[in-house]
Amino acid sequence: MFSFRRQAILIVLIVLLDQVTKSWAVSALADGRVIHVIGSLQFSLGFNSGFAFSQGQGLGPLIGVFAIIAVVLLFRAVRKATTQLSAAALCAIVAGAIGNIADRIFREDGLLHGRVVDFIDLQWFPVFNVADSSITVGACVLIAAMLMESRSGKGVDNNHES
């Protein structure tokens, strides 16, 4: 199984990548600077005090509390994961949540009043960051892992009668 040490390393690496890229964005994209990368992909600085796709602006403290509770519950799920793939997917989700919680705690006014830094701009999709990507990819991989587990019978209680 995916050892606790490997889970911790994966989570820490994703959180570090998220925080380093956000720090870069805050310094390199200040004053409205936009860096065009390729096609519609560009880097432009934005801040989000709400949740997904800038919904719930101003609800940062409440969102932060819910996110902290979610991280605790998800970390428990990581420990109970039945496959390495589902454990890795849950680690990615946990790491993304921690990265965005860190912004709410340590940026600006702090104590869950900080705004999340967003900078990856496709111009046809809401601006996002590495943590958001980690949550999204982790969720997609988790769904795939659950589908594979249900087909193989692994992680499924075959003694349960419906």
Q: Who's near 98: CB < 8 A, 6+ residues apart?
A: 11, 15, 71, 131
pLDDT score, position 108: 76
How many C-beta neighbours within 10 Å does residue 122 have? Answer: 13
Nearest-CA neighbor of 113 among 39, 57, 46, 34?
57
Q: What mean pLDDT do residues 77-89 have?
A: 90
pLDDT score, position 53: 64
Q: Chain-wide mean pLDDT for the chain?
A: 87
- Catalytic entry in 18, 103, 121, 132: 132
pLDDT score, position 154: 63
Q: What mean pLDDT do residues 100-112 have?
A: 82
* pLDDT, greater one: 140 or 48: 140
- Catalytic entry in 18, 103, 118, 121: 118
Q: What angle do CA 122, 128, 129 make, to 5 degrees?
A: 120
Quickly list H helices, 32-126: 60-80, 84-106
Asked whether the predicted pLDDT for residue 160 surpasses 50, the reply is no
Q: What is the pTM of this model?
A: 0.87
Q: Which of 3-12, 46-55, 110-119 has the highest mean pLDDT?
A: 3-12
Tens-place pLDDT, residues 21-65: 999 999 999 999 999 999 999 999 999 877 766 666 777 678 778
Residue 38, beta-bridge partner list: 41
pLDDT score, position 90: 96
Q: What angle do CA 120, 32, 47 make, to 5 degrees?
A: 50
127 vs 46: CA distance, rounded Å: 7
How many C-beta neighbours within 10 Å does residue 42 have? Answer: 17
Query: Is the distance from CB of 127 to CB of 121 less than 8 angstroms?
Result: yes
pLDDT score, position 134: 97
Sign of CA dihedral 72, 77, 80, 83: negative
Is 132 labeled as catalytic in the residue annotation?
Answer: yes
Q: How confident is the model at residue 141 (pLDDT cuts 50, 70, 90)?
A: very high
For the ranges 9-13, 49-53, 128-132, which has the lowest average pLDDT? 49-53
For the ranges 82-86, 110-114, 122-126, which has the lowest average pLDDT? 110-114
